[in-house]
Structure 1
């Protein structure tokens, strides 16, 4: 009889545990749906956001009024007219209280060659086309009827993408950037690719050349989610 009571007790505890897990996951799923709704309402997105509210148990995070981590993937987001594709949002320490604030927000996404070209042309005034050749960013233009291709190494400085010119091909010749006419050399050396419209408090921190363009990373702390737009 005692053994039977023990077995029954174990079964009851097992059922309760399953119920707690099911309830916890239901609450997490409801939170994920709410995040999808908020993102679609606040941001110019392409495709349905994929949201994962991490951490277990989730209900204790609600009681503590802070969600440990939430990740979001979106096919594309347009920030103030700048389209960023293959976007990942990584949010840490998101408060449940109003206003909703993330202790840390990391945004990664890709700028296509067409977007890079527009941003660079608007910034520099040069008739320039940016592209990717292997793992290298290139800038193509024509000078006095001669094709010019500059190989660029992008970096982030003070929240802006800047470039170092590594090689310049003038027609069939490789020349130093200093050997180019002054205005052209200055334009290439001073080339900037500003990415405006990121959420308030979020700043570019890194850039890497990828087959689809330039993969950027932006980071912010204590970011109000009302700034997502």
Structure 2
């Protein structure tokens, strides 16, 4: 199993996000039904694992974004306290990792959405406000950088993996407009063995989060006829 470590003219422009569903976290969340239980239509593309969008809906009228706290859930298979594990992590350290990932992902979305005359991030609903619910699921920490007695260096080829679960809503009505799932694995230095430490883990997490944020920004820009930036 691959692992991760840290210390939308029309809404259909979100087509840039979707790809044929493959085995992994996305497959555990949704079936391959073309229409979701809440009326969203599955769309295929190349840049994410799974996307559902509401037919006929448009993002062109949204010029601002609401971005709340990011929820983070570890993979059920991640258990650094299991017998024989090299890493011994306290409850406090686990929460530090969770909050660190949450803040990192939110910061990357916030920065990318607002950059270069972008989309103001606001706290109040309105007719031109798109509400985003961003969650990270299936977070698997490969080599957490925690202080332990007699700690030795750990070298890894992948810092690990995490999956984005994003939902976009009309902020006034609460109607869901799109749902995106995308799993990403960190590939440290082209798969070469690399010392896993807090700085490297932070950098790898930022790369993944910024990639997701850029795809969302691209979809919003396309909806507003702005093209590539």
After TM superposition, the score normalised by the length of structure 2 is 0.26
- Structure with the larger strand share: 1
After TM superposition, the score normalised by the length of structure 1 is 0.26
Q: Which has the higher contact order (CA 8 A, sep 6+)?
A: 2
